[in-house]
Structure 1
Amino acid sequence: LGVAHFRAVHRHLFQDVYDWAGQPRTIRVFKNGSPFCYPESFDQELARLFNWLRDRDHLSDLSPQAFADDAAYFLSELNAIHLYREGNGRAQTAFLAMLAAEAGHPLSFDRLEPAAWMEAMIVSFYGGTDRLAAQILSLID
C-alpha cells in the first residue's frame, strides 16, 4: 500500500466524475485560511509519509489502540497533503479501510458518526490526533 495505490483508489472512486481522477492538483488550496501542502512539495511529503508507513510495516502487528494512534497520525498527514482538488476525504477513508484490513484491524464504517469524524479530522489538521485515534478505535471490529 503506497502512493500509487492511493492514487488508484482516487481514480477508481472518481473516474466517472472527474477526468482528472487520480491526478494530483496543480494549484494551491486553502481551507478557512489554512494552506494545504503546496503542489511543489507533494513528492517530498508523500515520500516522507509513505516511507513512514512502510517503515512501520503498514501498521501491522499492533494492538487496536496502537493501530488507531498510528493510523490517526497517518490520516492527518495525508489529509494535510490534500493531493486532489476534490474527493480527498472519501479517498483517504477508503485507503484507511484497506490499510486497516491489511493490518488485521478491519473497520466498521456503519458505526461512524459523521459530525464527530469531521471534527476529529479538523482538529487533527492542527496537530491533535487524539480525537481521530478515538474515532478510528471506535470503528475497529
Structure 2
Amino acid sequence: MDFEHYRAIHHHLFQDVYQWAGQIRTVRIAKGGNPFCFPENIEDQANKLFDGLRSADFLRNLDALRFANQAAHFLAELNAIHAFREGNGRSQLTFFALLADPAGHPLKIEKLKPDEMLGAMIASFDGDERKLASVINDLIA
C-alpha cells in the first residue's frame, strides 16, 4: 500500500489505453486555473504522503468518523499531487477501496454519486475537506 502500489493500480487500469500508464507525469497540469503538484516534486510528495499512511497504520482501528476524516485528508493530498496525466480519479477511488476494506470500512460503491464526489474533491483542493469526509462517511455507512 505504497506509491509503487498506487502506480501499479494506474498501470493495471490503463495499460490498454495509455502507453505511459503507471508512469509519473512529466508535464505541468492544472484544472480551473489551479496547478497540481509540479512533476519534479511528485515522487517526493507522494512518498511522504504514503509514508504518513503507513505511520497511521493504513487507517485501521478507527471509528467511522475518524476514518472518514483521515481518509478525506489522504485523498485530498493524493488528488493535489495528481501523479498522472489522466486517470487520477479512477486510480484514487480504486486505491481507496483497497485501503478501506482492511481498515474495517468497506465502501458501498453503489452509493457513490459522481457529481457529489467531484464537488467534494474540488472543495478539498481549496482546503475544505469536510464535504469529502461527509461523502466518505456516506460510502461506509
TM-score calculated relative to the size of structure 2:
0.98
Deviation, 1:17, is 0.6
TM-score calculated relative to the size of structure 1:
0.98
Corresponding residue pairs, total: 141
Give 3-state SS (helix, strand or coil) of 1:102's partner.
coil
Give 3-state SS (helix, strand or coil) of 1:83's partner.
coil
Task: Spell out, residue by residue over 1:2-60, the C-alpha distance to the aligned partner (whole angstroms, 9 max, x if none).
Answer: 00110011001001111110001100001111100001111220121011101100000
- CA distance in structure 1 between the partners assigned to 2:52 and 2:22 by the alignment: 22
Equivalent position amino acid for 1:2 in 2: D
Give the 4+ runs in structure 1 shifted more than 3 A.
Answer: none
Task: Spell out, residue by residue over 1:91-138, the C-alpha distance to the aligned partner (whole angstroms, 9 max, x if none).
Answer: 000000000012111001100111111100000001110000000010
> Which residue of the partner structure matches residue 12 of structure 1?
12
> Which residue of the partner structure matches residue 126 of structure 1?
126
- CA distance in structure 1 between the partners assigned to 2:25 and 2:17 by the alignment: 15
Q: Where does the alignment leave 5 or more consecutive residues of structure 2 unmatched? A: none
Identity of aligned residues (%): 52
- CA distance in structure 1 between the partners assigned to 2:118 and 2:131 by the alignment: 10
